Amino acid sequence: MATFDTNHVKNIVLLGHAGSGKTTLAECMLFEAGLINRRGSVEERNTVSDYHELEQERGNSIFSSLLHTEWRGYKINIIDTPGYDDFVGEVVSALRVADTGVLLLNATAGVEVGADLIWDYTEQFTTPMIFAVNKLDEENANYDKTVAEAKTHFGANVLPIQYPVNPGLGFNCIIDVLHMVMYCFKKEGGKPDKLPIPEAEKPRADALHKELVEAVASNDEALMEKYFEQGELAEEELKAGIKKAMIHHDLFPLFCISAKQDMGSGRLMGFIDVCCPSANEMPPQLTKAGHELACSANGPACIFVFKTISEPHVGELSLFKVYSGTIKTGMELVNENTGVSEKINQLLLIEGHNRTNVNELVAGDIGATLKLRNTHVNNTLHEKGKNLELMPIAFPPSNLTVAIEATKKGEEEKLAQALHDIQQEDATVQVEVSAELKQTLLHCQGELHLTVIKWKIEHIHKVDVKFSQPKIPYRETIRKMAEASYRHKKQSGGSGQFGEVFMRIEPWYEGMPEPNGLNVRGRDEYPLDWGGKLVFYNCIVGGAIEARFLPSILKGVMEKMQEGPLTGSYVRDVRVCVYDGKMHPVDSNDISFKIAGLQAFRQAFQQADPQLLEPIYKVEVLCDDEQTGAVMGDLQSRRAIVEGMDTEGHFQKIVARVPLAEMYDYSSSLRSFTQGHAKFRMQFLEYAPVSYELQRKLSEAYNKEVLEEV
Ligand SMILES: Nc1nc2c(ncn2[C@@H]2O[C@H](COP(=O)(O)OP(=O)(O)O)[C@@H](O)[C@H]2O)c(=O)[nH]1
Ligand SMILES: [Mg+2]
């Protein structure tokens, strides 16, 4: 493998709706560059990129794959990504290190929802973008409609560099308005013949060329002046102008390909070589400390880990981009995030499942190493004595939460280890062991993602698991004042127990007046971990209960507040006044008063018009115009309160307050009834009272459950 300096390394990411042809295009690029001598296909399950067992099984990409090719003296690192939104983690981590995105559009389908969703991420990264209209060999390929939709969805800066002369069956000719030539491919694809533009095509080609020149000139004053003077720009000026405009996210060149027929990938790679930026042409990285880090092979050694893959029998592979300096085998680097020193024992180039050893990688290049001790995604490693921490990837919040448990007893440890490993590898998986719900919760991106996680747990970690709906973290409170007392008395062999507590409980709110008609001796406020407060008053007079027993009474009250009388949920915002009681000189002790406090609180609570509160989430649904009605209707069927509508990018945005209890299956149901033309985000808003009917139902279910446990 030749060595390449920073200027001759290009890092591209293939993006697009599932099935738009990314993996097939990657295969073409490797074949055209001679890195493979036979093109595999998705159908035959033998592409370089979709090498993972699960991808072979499902016939589509699930994980991003790093590949590289050499084209005319340049090294092109290619990251092929999955198109399903569930695997968005793979897309954002690839966008973090790529310097150009290639967004594939399927000419038979136009702009598909996956492209819209991915576009939002490229906007966040302001990644230089090019479009490739693929499947032009398909019978119902419609190039013009696809370009028109692309301009509507992604803006007028989408500019054709090429258009097909004969899209559809028999497609084999493209007109290039940058070079102003026609490329015609032989039946087997590959290297095209370069021909002059036929007369009949001249008007269209000239018009598109003019549009391109003007767009480039309008992005650069010097070029604009030149253009006004000469009415034309030289090819080299055009190319430099295109690169500049792309880096500023102001121009999105559009190409024509048929990945399946291997037509157009060479031309695309040629454009990537001369017009797409190398890492050192992109704005310098900003460190967390706010310093700029130039991408130079002579700078301090610094790499950023954007992906890890744990492979059975191989160990953990860490994929990284060199942001500064030159990384050599045997080098010692410091992990800024974990503080450990890591030795780069091997430097690898990745080609799907294949690995090639190299001695060094320069700034701007992407590679991998094996078996680092304590390094993970989003970690920055640098040479000793430098404190460099690069900006981490902001992974999107989860869309689906399920409860997970091992089907076989005794496998809990194995499951915990499996979940730990999966989280390390996939930052869009979060595991939460909820003490409150007594469940292990798995937060992920959707049903498809869940299937992949299950596959990993069962096939790699050999643990059988089952998923269930997470319980809802309800809250309980009261609506009116109530008083109750409880006498705990136990005399059975050995020391007896005795304690009697009289208490008043009231709904607590900030600034409420002191208790009426009671003698306040002491007052403590307890902010609760689960939100809200408990305010505890000692109103004992005449030493009815010794002060030393009040902490036990409080303990009993707290214990009951952790498993409320209504549904066993946390209780919040209650004021408790202990105003009387009885002791026994011998039998009174902490446990007696704890039990008396707990039971008195339970009784008082049930007489205080208890109210169940449910978590309400702010849900924002982004959908196409045509979907708003269906989205609204569905939200209303989920007890939602729609608060308003707005627009965001080219989406309609519907904002609603929705009970969490109604959101369990939202990600899959929204995806299915809008055919994927919608996405949503949600965040906790507040707790709100549930209806009397629902409270009764939930409380009955809880009492039944408790009785069954006894
Ligand atoms: N007719 C035609 N089919 C294509 C072309 N590119 C890809 N395909 C087919 O489209 C399907 C999806 O391709 P794939 O590369 O897996 O798409 P990805 O999901 O974007 O990676 C496969 O059946 C491919 O054979 C093309 O240019 N023309
Ligand atoms: Mg694919």
**Which CATH class, in words, describes the domain spanning 6-281?**
alpha beta
Higher pLDDT among residues 3 and 190, named by residue: 190
Query: Band of the pLDDT at 1, cuts 50, 70, 90?
Result: low
Q: Is the CB of 106 under 6 A from ligand 1?
A: no
* Domain boundaries 476-608, corresponding CATH code: 3.30.230.10
Model pLDDT for residues 131-175, shown as the tens digit of each residue = 999 999 999 999 999 999 999 999 999 999 999 999 999 999 999
- Nearest C-alpha neighbor of 416 from the set 350, 484, 346, 465: 465
Q: Is the CB of 43 under 6 A from ligand 1?
A: yes
Query: Band of the pLDDT at 700, cuts 50, 70, 90?
Result: very high
Domain limits, the chain: 6-281, 285-382, 403-468, 476-608, 613-693
Q: Is the CB of 107 under 6 A from ligand 1?
A: no
Q: Supply the residue whose CA is at minimum distance from atom 8 of ligand 1.
A: 21
**Helix/strand/coil for 51:** coil
pLDDT of residue 431: 97
* 688 Cβ neighbours under 8 A, 6+ residues apart: 613, 614, 616, 659
Bridge partner list, 501: 486, 581
**What is the Cα–Cα distance from 698 to 608, expressed in whole angstroms?**
18
Atom number in ligand 1 closest to CA 138: 1
Domains 6-281 and 285-382 share a fold: no
Q: Supply the residue whose CA is at minimum distance from atom 26 of ligand 1.
A: 135
**What is the Cα–Cα distance from 20 to 107, expressed in whole angstroms?**
9
Q: Supply the residue whose CA is at minimum distance from atom 12 of ligand 1.
A: 19
Q: Supply the residue whose CA is at minimum distance from atom 22 of ligand 1.
A: 42
CA distances from 632 to 617, 668, 673 (A): 16, 16, 12
Q: What CATH superfamily classification does 285-382 receive?
A: Translation factors (2.40.30.10)
In contact, 308 and 376? CB cutoff 8 Å? yes
User: Would the pLDDT of 493 be above 70?
Assistant: no
**Helix/strand/coil for 488:** strand
**Helix/strand/coil for 94:** helix
Q: What are residue 298's phi and psi, to 5 degrees?
A: -95, 0
* 240 Cβ neighbours under 8 A, 6+ residues apart: none
**Ligand 1 centroid to 61 CA: how many Å?**
11
Beta strand ranges found along 227-277 (DSSP E): 252-256
Model pLDDT for residues 314-350, shown as the tens digit of each residue = 889 999 999 999 999 999 999 999 999 999 999 999 9
**What is the Cα–Cα distance from 55 to 42, expressed in whole angstroms?**
10
Q: Is the CB of 23 under 6 A from ligand 1?
A: yes
Average pLDDT over residues 411-418: 96
One of 3.30.70.870, 3.20.20.100, 3.40.190.10, 2.30.31.70 is the CATH number of 403-468, namely: 3.30.70.870
Q: Is the CB of 20 under 6 A from ligand 1?
A: yes
**What is the Cα–Cα distance from 309 to 296, expressed in whole angstroms?**
28
User: Would the pLDDT of 628 be above 90?
Assistant: yes
Ligand that comes closest to the CA of residue 259: 1
Mutate to test the pocket of ligand 1, among 14, 20, 24 (most ligand atoms within 8 A of CB): 24
Question: Which residue matches tokens 């003490």?
Answer: 435
**Ligand 1 centroid to 19 CA: how many Å?**
6
Q: Is the CB of 259 under 6 A from ligand 1?
A: yes
**What is the Cα–Cα distance from 47 to 672, expressed in whole angstroms?**
30
pLDDT of residue 710: 64
Ligand that comes closest to the CA of residue 61: 2
- C-alpha dihedral sign at 567, 571, 577, 582: positive
pLDDT of residue 616: 97
Query: Band of the pLDDT at 394, cuts 50, 70, 90?
Result: very high
**Ligand 1 centroid to 41 CA: how many Å?**
9
* Domain boundaries 613-693, corresponding CATH code: 3.30.70.240
pLDDT of residue 709: 72
**Ligand 1 centroid to 60 CA: how many Å?**
10
Atom number in ligand 1 closest to CA 43: 23
Q: Is 606 exposed, middle or buried (0-12, 13-18, 19+ CB in 10 A)?
A: middle
Mutate to test the pocket of ligand 1, among 30, 260, 265 (most ligand atoms within 8 A of CB): 260
**What is the Cα–Cα distance from 42 to 603, expressed in whole angstroms?**
66
**What is the Cα–Cα distance from 481 to 610, expressed in whole angstroms?**
10
Average pLDDT over residues 519-539: 96
Model pLDDT for residues 40-68, shown as the tens digit of each residue = 999 999 999 999 999 999 999 999 999 99
